[in-house]
Amino acid sequence: MPDRLRIAVQKKGRLADESFTLLKKCGLNFSVRGDGLLARVKNLPIDLLLVRDDDIPNFVASDASDFGLVGENVFAEEIMGVKAFDIKIVRRLGFSRCNLCLAAVENSAIKDPSDLNNKKIATSYPSILKTYLKNNNINATCVEMKGAVELAPRINIADAICDLVSSGATLEANGLKVFETILESEAVLVGSNRTLVANKQRVYERLLSRIDGVISSKDSKYIMLNAPEDQVDIITKLLPGSDAPTIIPLSADNNLVAMQAVCTENVFWETLEALKDKGARSILVLPIEKMMN
């Protein structure tokens, strides 16, 4: 339907699961069933198109979808391969993080990108790799593979590989070692420069505000504590990424105040220990599920 916002989402996999979690945290009520290609949001005029990840940039560029949730690695590969794509990153979403890296056999002579001259490199990301080689004046041959890239050096298809690395366990199991990171990737919301009709624009702005709220609350914590009144300024400076805290006098003790603050950065044990050293007591740290500025 023309007035329903269409968002392309990867159908299966870790990024798909985390994308669905994000959208549900934004209050979208939907269910994904079996091999269905469409999930209709029940409480907002939004349709989710469930597709392959490498189809998402094309869906957005061709107006089959208004926006897409996709890995930055896939977005970059499609953009570099098809220069006419009129799409852009709207938001970085902070999940499904991984790196696109160059790696070689641990005991090989390849230790540095300059060692790749006149070598063969296996990859599933030929456009990104070729762009990197060109920008760095490296004369190497790109060997395109659809999967199992880490096996290429072992079976003499290539001298090195360019592949996604998350934990690094797969590379280690195949005797490979990373020597260069080409791209740091995460899930991104992508869109085009097309103008949306008024109804879609309102839904989009509402959804984007909710996404921002979920992202900003991810690492945020709500801190409550009691503190000596003469230490308030020092303690305020110790609270990571907080605005001015709320300060409430405690009638039971004229020398103590209650402090409450939203910290938008991680609160580590070291932070709590530093607060305690300045006289803070009854320190309570609570997670924040949703936040809207």
Whole-prediction pTM value? 0.81
pLDDT score of 288 more than 60: yes
By the 10 Å C-beta count (0-12 exposed, 13-18 middle, 19+ buried), 48 is classed as: buried
Q: What is the pLDDT of residues 205-240, one digit of tens each?
A: 999 999 998 988 887 888 999 999 889 999 998 888
pLDDT of residue 189: 97
Residue 85 pLDDT exceeds 80: no
Q: What percent of the chain shows pLDDT beyond 90?
A: 65
**β-strand partners of 185:** 98
Could you tell me how many residues make up the chain?
A: 293
Q: How confident is the model at residue 47 (pLDDT cuts 50, 70, 90)?
A: very high
- What is the radius of gyration, based on Cα positions, of the chain? 24
How do residues 155-171 score in pLDDT, each as one tens digit? 999 999 999 998 888 88
Instruction: Evaluate whether 153 touches 116 at the Cβ level (below 8 Å).
Output: no
Query: For the CA atoms of 255, 258, 262, 264, what is the dihedral angle to 10 degrees?
Result: 40
Say if residue 261's pLDDT is above 70.
yes
Calculate mean pLDDT across residues 122-136: 94
Q: How far apart are CA 156 and CA 54, in angstroms?
A: 28
Q: DSSP string spanning 194-212?
A: PPPPHHHHHHHHHHHHHHH
Q: What is the mean pLDDT of residues 175-181?
A: 93
pLDDT of residue 188: 97
Rounded to 5 degrees, φ, ψ at 106 are: -55, -40
pLDDT for position 2:
66
The whole-number pLDDT of residue 82 equals 66
Mind listing the domains of the chain with CATH numbers?
A: 5-96+187-217 (3.40.190.10), 98-185 (3.40.190.10), 220-287 (3.30.70.120)
Mean pLDDT throughout 65-73? 95
Helix (H) or strand (E) holding 71: strand 67-71
Q: Give me the pLDDT at residue 253, please.
A: 63
% of the chain beyond a pLDDT of 70: 97
